[in-house]
Amino acid sequence: MVEHVVVIGAGVYGAAVTASLTRRGARATVVDAGAPAGGTSGATFSWTNACGKEPRSYHDLCVAGMAAHRRLAAEVPHGDWYHEGGNLEWAADDAGRAELREKVAGVLGYGYEARWLGRAETLLLEPDLDPALLPADEIAYFPREGWIEPTRLIGHLLSGAVSHGAELVRDDAVTGLEVTAGVVRAVRLASGRRLFADAVVNCAGPQAARIAEFAGLALPMRNTSGVLVYTSPVAVSVSRVVHAPRVHLRPDGGGRLLLHTPEIDGAVRASRTGEIGVEQSAVDDVLEAARALYPGIRAATVESVRVGERPIPGDGLPVLGRAAELPNFHFAVSHSAATLSVHAGDLVAAEALGEDQSEALAAFRFERL
C-alpha cells in the first residue's frame, strides 16, 4: 500500500501532483533545491493551449488540461491565476499564412474552437492595437486559450496541500535515490536527510534527467533557453495572448506586459564566470516591436528580463507516469507544463497511489524513449 510519496520539484507539476496526493488521502513530501516556483515555472510564458499540438493524443491531453484549469478556477472564488482571454495570431508573409491556415484547419478538424477574424473584429477585442499593423483578414482567434500566473497557482496548490498534511522541503537538493530489488526505498537530500518513500514522482523539470539517472534510468532531454521580457506598467488595454509576427505578448501582473519572440531565445549568452545574460540589442528589438504594435506603450521600459530553461523530453512529448522497470518511480515532465499541470498531475498522482491510468497515459510512457 502506498502511504508516503516524495515529489521532487516544487514547480507547477510538483505542486499539482502534491495537491492531488493530499486530496486522495496520501502523505506527501515535496522537495526542491530552491524555492517553490523558483525554476522554470517562474520564468515561463505560461500560455494554456492545445493549438498545433500533435499527435492527436497530445492535443487531447492539452484540451483536458485546459478544462482542468477552468474547473479549478471555478472552484476557487478568489483564484486569480487563470485567465481565459483567448489568443490572436496572424502572419506577415505567404509562407506564414499558409502555415497558419494549416494549423487552423487541423484544430477545427479536432473540434477545437477557432475562427477567422478581420481587422475590424480584432480591434473590437484589442482596441489599442495599431490598425496599420493588422492584416485586413486571416487573423486567427482561439477563444478558449489563455494563460496562467504560475507562481500564484503554485502558491494555491501548495498551501492547500500543506494545510492537509503535506510537508514542503525547500532549499535542499536531492543528491541520490536508494534503490534495492527494483524499488526506490528512499530519497537522499543535501542536508543529510533520508526520506523513506513508497513512491517517488520526478517533477524536476530541466533537472529531470539527473533525477532519473539517480534511479538508473536514462531520460533523453533537449532543454532550451526561454527569454521573457517584462515591461514597466503601461496604461493600455491588452486582454489576451497575442502572437504577432514580430512579438508575442500577454498581460502580466500590475499592468505590465510579458514579451517574447523565438529569436530572443537565441540571444542568451554565458559569461566566463557562468553568468547568464541576454544581448541588449535583442531585448531592445522585442520592446520596439511591442511599442509598434501597441502605440500606447511608447513610454514603456524594460523592468526585468528572465531566462528560463525549458524542459523538453527527447521527442518533444510529455513523459508521464510510472517507469516499467522501476514501478514506484513516476515522471511528470514536459514542455507544456503550464497547460497540463493540473490534469496530468492528477493522473500521475492517481497512478502513484496504485490506480490504473494506462488508457490516459499510454502514449506518454517513459519506455517509448
Q: Average pLDDT of 10-19? A: 98
Q: What is the pLDDT of residues 234-268, one digit of tens each?
A: 999 999 999 999 999 999 988 999 999 999 999 99
Q: What is the pLDDT of residues 179-231, one digit of tens each?
A: 999 999 999 999 999 999 999 999 999 999 999 999 999 999 999 999 999 99
Average pLDDT, the chain: 96
Instruction: Please tell me whether residues 211 and 333 are part of one structural domain.
Output: yes
Instruction: Please tell me whether residues 324 and 306 are part of one structural domain.
Output: no
Q: What is the pLDDT of residues 314-326, one digit of tens each?
A: 999 999 999 999 9
Instruction: Please tell me whether residues 335 and 348 are part of one structural domain.
Output: yes
Supply the CATH number for residue 283's domain. Answer: 3.30.9.10
Split at pLDDT 50, 70, 90, the class of 80 is confident
Split at pLDDT 50, 70, 90, the class of 344 is very high
Instruction: Please tell me whether residues 154 and 205 are part of one structural domain.
Output: yes
Choose the final residue of a domain: 310, 327, 357: 310
Q: By the 8 A CB rule, do 293 and 133 touch?
A: yes
Choose the final residue of a domain: 310, 327, 349: 310
Instruction: Please tell me whether residues 235 and 302 are part of one structural domain.
Output: yes
**Percentage of the chain lying above the pLDDT 90 cut:** 94
Instruction: Please tell me whether residues 100 and 36 are part of one structural domain.
Output: no
| DSSP H helices in the chain | 12-23, 56-75, 94-109, 119-125, 150-163, 208-214, 262-265, 280-293, 337-352, 358-361
Q: By the 8 A CB rule, do 357 and 350 touch?
A: yes
Domain that holds residue 124: 87-143
Q: What is the pLDDT of residues 28-50, one digit of tens each?
A: 999 999 999 999 888 899 999 99
Which long-range contacts link 360-363 to residues 24+ away (Cβ below 8 Å)? 360/61, 361/320, 361/321, 363/55, 363/57, 363/58, 363/61, 363/317
**Pairing state between β 115-117 and 4-8:** unpaired
Q: Average pLDDT of 146-164? A: 96
Nearest of 332, 346, 363, 366 to residue 55 by alpha carbon: 363
Domain assignment present for residue 40? The answer is yes
Q: Give the pTM.
A: 0.96
Instruction: Please tell me whether residues 320 and 258 are part of one structural domain.
Output: no
Checking if the pLDDT of 275 tops 90, the result is no
Residue 79 has a pLDDT of 82
Instruction: Please tell me whether residues 324 and 285 are part of one structural domain.
Output: no
Instruction: Please tell me whether residues 60 and 163 are part of one structural domain.
Output: yes
Domain assignment present for residue 194? The answer is yes
